[in-house]
Structure 1
Amino acid sequence: MSGPSSMSPPRPRLFCPLPGAIHPDHRQVEEGTRRWARAAGLDGLPGHEALLGHRMGELAARVMPGAGREAVQLLGDLVLWLFHVDDDCEEGPLGVRPAGLADRLSRLLYAAEHPGATLLPRDPVAGAVRDLRRRTEALFGPHAGAAWLDGLRAYFLSLLWEAGQRTAPEYPGIESYALMRLHSGAVDTFLPLLEHAHSIALVPAERHDPRLAALKEMAAFLIGWANDLLSYRKESTRPGRRLDVVTLLRRGGAGLTDAVTAAVGQYDRVMGRFLELGERSRRRHRAAAGTWRPSTASYAAPVNGSSPHPGTGTGSARTCWLGPSPTTRPRRRPARWASRRSSGGGTPKPASG
C-alpha cells in the first residue's frame, strides 16, 4: 500500500506576491494557545509537544494580522485542535478504520453542535471543541457559529474520505483528490472567523456570487497544494499509503522532478487567476459602493491565496485547476521567490491547519 519510493525532491518555489504581516501580539497569542491547551488537557495527548513546535499562535497571527487579539487567539487555539484531530485520524489506528473513525467524528461533531451535552465528558478533544464553539458564538454571534459548524462537517467528511482511500484497493484519481483537498485543509473552519473578525458583512447576493465562491475555492486549493508540495520531503519518509498531489502524479507515470514541476505549475496557474479575479472584484465593488472593506487576501488564510477566472470572472475554480501547466509564470511577478519548509500533514501548517 506504499506509494512510489521516496527520494529527495527539488525544493519547490511557489509564486506568492502577497505581502506578509504578523499581529503585534503574536508572542502573547502563542503563549495563550499553550495555556489553553494545558487547561483543556490536550497537553497529555500523543505528539502534543511536537505540535507546539509548529507555533500555532504565530500562524494565527500571520493569518489575521489586523484582527482583534481575541479573534486571533481563537484561531490559534482552533488550529492546534485541528492538528490534534488531523494527526490522530491520519497517523493513529483510526486512520485505516473508516467505520471506527466515523463513530469518533460523529461524537466530536455532536459535542460541537451541542456544547452543553454530557456526551464524552472526559474527552479533552471533545471538551476543547465545545469551548471553541462557545467562544465562536460569543465573539461573533450565532450565524458565525453555524457557518463554523458547516465547515467542521466538511472537514470531517474529508477525513473519512482519506481513511477510506487508505484501505481502498486503488489510489484515487487526481481530480477526486483535488475535490477532497478543498476541505481536508480545514479552510472551511477558518473562513467564518476571517470574515467576522474583519467586520465583513455580506448580503446574500454577495455571499452567493460565483466570483466569491471561486475565490474561496481557489484559496483552499492553493493552501492544499502548497502544503502538499512543501511537506512532501518529510511526508515521503513515512510508512503506509500517502495521499498528496506529488505521489498521485508520480503514480500516473511522472518522475519526481516532473511531478513537482507539474504541481507547482497548477498552483501558479490558480494563483495567477486568483490575483486577477480578486483585483477585478475589488474594482467592481469600489465602483458600486465607493469603498469595499473585504479584501480577497482575507480568504487566503495560510498561503494568502485564492484564484480567479480570467475569462468571464465567474464559475468554479475546478475548470482551471488541472489543465496544462503554463510555460511561463503568471504575468504578475512575485516580489520574491519564497522557499519555505512545511511541517506536513493535512491541515494548513505553517503557512497557516
Structure 2
Amino acid sequence: MSISEAATSEAAETTLVTLSDIEAAAERISDLVLRTPIIQLPHPQRPDEVLHCKAESLQPTSAFKLRGAYNTIAQVLDHAREHGIVAQSSGNHARAVAWLAHRLNLRAVIVMPDAAPLPKIEAVRALGAEVEIVPSALRDVRAHELVAQHGYVHVPPYDDPRIIAGQGTVGLEIMQQLPHVDTVLVPISGGGLISGIATAVKALNPGTRVIGVEPELAADAAQSFREGRRITWEQELTYRTVADGLRTPALGVHPWEHVKRYVDDVITVTEEQILAAMRHLTLAGRLVVEPSGAVATAAWMHDLVPSGNTQNDGGTTAAVVSGGSVDPALLAKVLQQAG
C-alpha cells in the first residue's frame, strides 16, 4: 500500500529535529530520566566479541519511552495540569505517560489496544491512569476523539518532533559513552526512537552507521526503506510478531523524513532469533528484556548486520535494548528453551 496524499502533504511541512533540540531535551528531562549504562554482552559463539548494549530497559518505566513523553509534557505542563493528558499505546509509551502523570499530579487517559499484553495494561492502571481498551484499528482514532471532546493534551507515541527530540537523548548519551562507536543498531517501529538517535549520532559523528532492526513479520519500515516511499502494512500482518512494541503498521510522517535523511539501513530478524536474543540478554547480559527490546541484539547475534567501510577505528557496535516490560510467563518459557 503506497503513501497517501495526506501523508505526502504533511511530509512537505515536516521540520527535521536538530542536535540543539535534542540537547535541550536532555536538559529538560534530566531530573526524572535515568542516564542508562552500557552493558558489554559477549557473543554466544565468539566470547571475545562484545556488543555494547544501551540498557534502556533499566529506566523507571522499563523502556526508553519515558524520554520523549517527558520532553513533550514538560513543554505544555500548564495546559496539561488544567485539562489532563491522553495517549495511545500498546504498553511502554502508556506506562511512561501514566508514570509521569502520577509524578506530576496530572489526569491521564490511556487508550490501549485489546491486543496489548495484560501485564502492560495492569502496570498502567496501577499508576492511577484511566485505561480505555479499544480494537487495535481504533487506537489512534479514539485518542484524537478524546482530545476533541475534552481538550486533553495529546502525547503521541512517536509522530511528533518533541517525541523524536526526547528519544534522541539516547543517541546523545551513546556518543558520549562510546565516542568512537562504528555502528548503532536500533529497534524500529513507528520510528521515533531511531529518528532521534540517528539525528544525534550523525550530527556528532557522520561516519557512524545507524541501522534499524525490525521483525520480519512487521517489516513495513524495511520495505519503505528499500522502495524509498512510506509503506503501510495491514495490522493483521504486523500483529503476528511476538514483539508487541514493534507492531505499528507504518513509520510516522515525521520519523520517515528523518529515516530517509539519516538512517543507513533497515534489516529484519525472525521470531526465533528475537527469542534467542531475549534468552542471551537475560543469561549473559543480566538484563530482563521484552521481545521488542531484543531485536537489535538479535541482528548482531545472528551476524545479520551488513559490513561497511566507515571512518571510525575499532569496529565497535552498540545496540539499544529498548525495553524490559516482558510477560513473566513468556520470559519463563524463553529461559527454559535450549540455547
Which one scores higher on RCO, CA 8 angstroms, separation ≥ 6?
1
User: Which of the pair is proportionally richer in strand?
Assistant: 2
Larger Rg, first or second structure (1 or 2): 1
Flag whether TM exceeds 0.5 (same fold).
Answer: no
